[in-house]
Structure 1
């Protein structure tokens, strides 16, 4: 027995009616996200910019200016400080020593640890990361390449699996999801490291899964209701898949919120990116990817110059290329 049913099976919501409002909102949010990335920049982690990152925990919230003065007095380079997770935890970022010898890096870390322990009672060293400039440059390129290749391959898959309109709408929707994530990190200044790249790729995977399910239902209904208008087919398809979409998103969000609360600050950026990605991905699947098919001229019935051919398996008329 079902004790709770969040979305009825017989919903009849006119999603397509709001597509122009959705396109306008999507355009504004995308422009805002790109502007935030260019204006505020991403708070790149050591993985991408190189250097030394030291994480220190204090008994009470310290004065950031005092911590910076203590570190600057060591003459180990200009320090960049940021609270991580709680006011009592600071991330201290320093330039990497000129020498590539790991011993030089360890000396810098030990000097900082000793100075902080001496000036702040109860200060405890948490962790450190060190990445060379060459490695960080390679990681930046590999991260960008991974995202671009993933989006392009997904678009090609949608084109060969369905039609070119599905491929274009899917790529547009996924790029919207990625840009929303980048804009969020530029706005919040959460550290952007390799964990976030992994989150972005995971968001792409989740988003394409949702979109392919809806696209497949649209194609089935196009074959079933050849004389139905495209907006009606899309509304029908989205409503038919809506219970699955909502329940999948809710169950994933429950797990992510648990991870956000109990996973600690190390996973906070990854989890925040995933939560945003699930919400934005669900929105783009319904209001961007599906509705864009109408704008791209997708039609259910065969065109006069390309009549449908009988399907060998069922004997039903097949939709002509470019119109299914």
Structure 2
């Protein structure tokens, strides 16, 4: 299926503009990560997550004051716009179900007539949190290791694999930077989104690399820039369709999927946009730049 049947974009010629955009994006992401850090959810830190809904409107400041009086000082409170629903997260290694019940009873007493109901309650012990964190890190490392090994076998020249991995890290770091900037929590669901983003990103890069490799066999006399531009233009429709399909579904989830998958959908929306961009503007242009720097004396040689 061709959305743009006759495109002739000079992607390679614009590579330095693309690199500049990526450096700005990554620079901002790294600055946010260094300044604000990553806010891990209770999946990794241990603690309790509650979602409560009040019968009457409730101000966040009033709830925070009542929570402090009820023994929930230090709790992370978040309101959901347009509703009377609030998220209460307590990161504590000493938290227990019995203690939480007493604190909720005290909170209800402090708030008086404005009753609330507990929509959901999740408790994660500190040992379980550390275990889940280790497992999540193993999942990330093993996934990246598998991708590197696969690319090493798929393409004879290692620079292709390195370029694909750089594009993958580009997408994941940018998404982490967004979550750091927004102060959104990173939990197991977000880790799964990061792995999914990485999978889509590397898949798009491999499709473009495959087309370039095919063109190198049939266009031996043409300059490498022309070969790569034609390959990228020919796969542009496929890249946009793949990213656009994911984007449409995740936008629906973001607005209508409920609070539970709100941050997951946000990560996937941003990640799919950045992933589509990096497949076109980062991975292949990096291969071209490195190849040309290694073959300055013979720019028409495709190896």
- Per the TM superposition, whether the score is higher than 0.5 is yes
Q: 1:292 aligns to what SS in structure 2?
A: helix
Q: 1:16 aligns to what SS in structure 2?
A: coil
Give 1:86 shift: 5.0
Query: Is the contact between residue 212 and residue 228 of structure 2 (CA under 8 Å) also seen in structure 1?
Result: yes
Give 1:87 shift: 5.3
- CA 1:286–1:175: 2 relative to 1, 3 Å: same
**Partner residue of 1:309?**
none
Q: Does 1:113 align with 2:109?
A: no
Larger radius of gyration: 1
- CA 1:124–1:211: 2 relative to 1, 3 Å: same
**Partner residue of 2:197?**
203
Give 1:43's match in structure 2, choosing from 35, 39, 61: 39
Structure 1, 48-57 or 213-222: larger mean CA deviation: 48-57
Q: Does 1:286 align with 2:280?
A: yes
Give 1:191 shift: 2.0
**Partner residue of 2:186?**
192
1:52-83 alpha-carbon deviations (Å, 9 max, x no partner): 12211123442223222222223355322222
**Partner residue of 1:82?**
78
- Consecutive unaligned residues of structure 2, counting only runs of 5 or more, are none
What root-mean-square deviation, in Å, do the aligned CA atoms of Structure 1 and Structure 2 show?
2.4
- CA 1:272–1:6: 2 relative to 1, 3 Å: farther
- CA 1:222–1:234: 2 relative to 1, 3 Å: same
Question: Whole-Å Cα distance in 2 between the matches of residues 142 and 186 of structure 1?
Answer: 22
Q: Does 1:222 align with 2:216?
A: yes
1:188-230 alpha-carbon deviations (Å, 9 max, x no partner): 1222111000000111111111111111001000111112211
- CA 1:278–1:153: 2 relative to 1, 3 Å: same
- Consecutive unaligned residues of structure 1, counting only runs of 5 or more, are 99-103, 305-319
Question: Whole-Å Cα distance in 2 between the matches of residues 90 and 60 of structure 1?
Answer: 12
Give 1:72's match in structure 2, choosing from 50, 68, 73: 68
Question: Whole-Å Cα distance in 1 between the matches of residues 14 and 150 of structure 2?
Answer: 28
- CA 1:85–1:224: 2 relative to 1, 3 Å: farther
**Partner residue of 1:240?**
234
- CA 1:115–1:289: 2 relative to 1, 3 Å: same
1:18-42 alpha-carbon deviations (Å, 9 max, x no partner): 1001111111211210110121122
**Partner residue of 1:123?**
116
How many matched pairs?
296
Q: 1:266 aligns to what SS in structure 2?
A: coil
Q: 1:297 aligns to what SS in structure 2?
A: helix
Question: Whole-Å Cα distance in 1 between the matches of residues 222 and 137 of structure 2?
Answer: 42
Q: Does 1:164 align with 2:158?
A: yes
Q: 2:71 aligns to what SS in structure 1?
A: coil
Q: Does 1:154 align with 2:147?
A: yes
**Residues 25-64 of structure 1: matches in 2 within 5 Å?**
25-64=21-60
- CA 1:140–1:73: 2 relative to 1, 3 Å: same
1:127-157 alpha-carbon deviations (Å, 9 max, x no partner): 1111122222222232223223322321221
Question: Whole-Å Cα distance in 2 between the matches of residues 56 and 234 of structure 1?
Answer: 55
Query: Is the contact between residue 54 and residue 109 of structure 1 (CA under 8 Å) also seen in structure 2?
Result: no
Calculate the TM-score normalised by the size of structure 1.
0.84
Query: Is the contact between residue 169 and residue 292 of structure 1 (CA under 8 Å) also seen in structure 2?
Result: yes
**Partner residue of 2:135?**
142
Q: Does 1:296 align with 2:290?
A: yes
